[in-house]
Amino acid sequence: MSQYVSRIAGTFVGPPRLRLPGQHRRPRRIAVLSVHTSPLHQPGTGDAGGMNVYIVELAKRLAALDIEVEIFTRATTGGLAPTVQLAPGVLVRHVDAGPYEGLDKEELPAQLCAFTHGVMQAWAGQRPGYYDLVHSHYWLSGHVGWLASERWGVPLVHAMHTMAKVKNAALADGDRPEPAARVIGETQIVRAADRLIANTAEEAADLVRFYEAEPAKVAVVHPGVNLECFCPADGRAAARARLGLPPDAFIPLFAGRIQPLKAPDILLRAVAVLLDQDPSLRTKLVVPVVGGPSGSGLAKPEVLQKLAARLGIADVVRFRPPVGQEQLADWFRAASVLVMPSYSESFGLVAIEAQAAGTPVVAASVGGLPVAVRDGVTGFLVPGHEPAAYARALRNFLDHPELVDRMGEAASHHARGFGWDTAASATADVYTEAMHDHRRRGRTAR
């Protein structure tokens, strides 16, 4: 059930099929646009997160399908090589657009002309027809992709990742709403794109409901997980030993960007509730928070540390900086449970990665998390954001320790249905459809 491409109009495309002679061809080379965050950046801080992982893993798997990928991203430090080989068949192109450092994401719209100029310069040095398709990620990239696709005469495939109207409908306390300019920009991209890729059926429905997307243009492709990296491996005890964590502790983990949208404060408040109810837990609890400030969280980078002190739980909370994929997998293995109380998630890659490592998840019942987490089987979904509700979910694991292993095993099995190979093959099918429809419309126009 988890591996498919579907049309919200009702038709269903099953598992990838062998392509026979005479069938529509896949693209040979695509331009991928990621203006505001580089696939080379460390996820978990700044603007780097699940989208970075998505772009990197998808690009590698597309290259394995003989689709060359060139990723255009903004240069954020001086002296970067103009191009970097990320993997065989995957090239990253750094584009100079605005100052290298100190530029917030909200200031990037003013640099889109410069970024577009850099993309066009790279294209101008190639033979005609060099790129078969443009795949843009996030609305800033979508505007560059819109112009590029029209200039090159190729289809535009766009992935929103997050949507302003959806985020504004579920704002966290203290978070700022997305600006009207973004809403307008997203609306324009939805109209211009040949295909829109959504992570879940709910996201696809949001595109239709909030942005009046044409249902026939929207495809659902679940993201994947790197199953070689995120796996149970040698188990919880070994991972805890490597990370210097107590072997018998109860460890609810938060991993991700520290900003109101991701709601790490909910976990801290839930832990305070647990300790108020049962002070003896203080010797058994270790609460790691792995990640760095991001978005509106950059304005108050110490807010979580101050909250932990104010709640009287600073002694059980351990703040750690973002880490690479291999060590992140160890944090997942070491945890008793991952806690993901986000206010909005288009999918929630972290939830799938943790489950792939054999760890159950307690998550907010929002966005794509009900797809990522099987409620009552691989973890618990919590409606709303009351800390007491999360405390009750965590108490289930404390009162029934066997749940950690039982749900962890189910979680690992569940996550194996989300491989990147399947996601890449399904995405390639979306590209193929977009190219076919684009050519057909071109013939009709003539």
Q: Which residues make up each annotated binding site?
A: 36, 42-43, 47-52, 105, 138, 162, 182, 257, 262, 323, 332-333, 335, 345, 353, 359
Annotated binding site for UDP-N-acetyl-alpha-D-glucosamine: 42-43, 50, 257, 262, 323, 345, 353
SS3 201: helix
Query: What strands lie across the sheet with 252-255, from one edge to the other?
Result: 317-320, 287-290, 252-255, 337-340, 361-364, 379-382
SS3 57: helix
For residue 244, the tally of other CB atoms under 10 A from its CB is 8
Annotated binding site for Mg(2+): 332-333, 335, 359
Let me know if 267 is exposed, middle or buried by CB neighbors in 10 A (0-12, 13-18, 19+): buried
Annotated binding site for 1D-myo-inositol 3-phosphate: 36, 47-52, 105, 138, 162, 182
Per-residue H/E/C for 294-316 = CHHHHHCCCHHHHHHHHHCCCCC
Q: Tell me the residue type at 159.
A: A
Residue found by looking up tokens 């013939």 in the block: 443
For residues 302 and 85, what is the distance between their CA atoms, to the nearest angstrom?
A: 36
SS3 24: coil
Given the DSSP bridges, would you call strands 5-7 and 12-13 parallel, antiparallel or unpaired?
antiparallel
Residue found by looking up tokens 């598992």 in the block: 15
Nearest to 404 by CA among 340, 354, 352, 329: 354
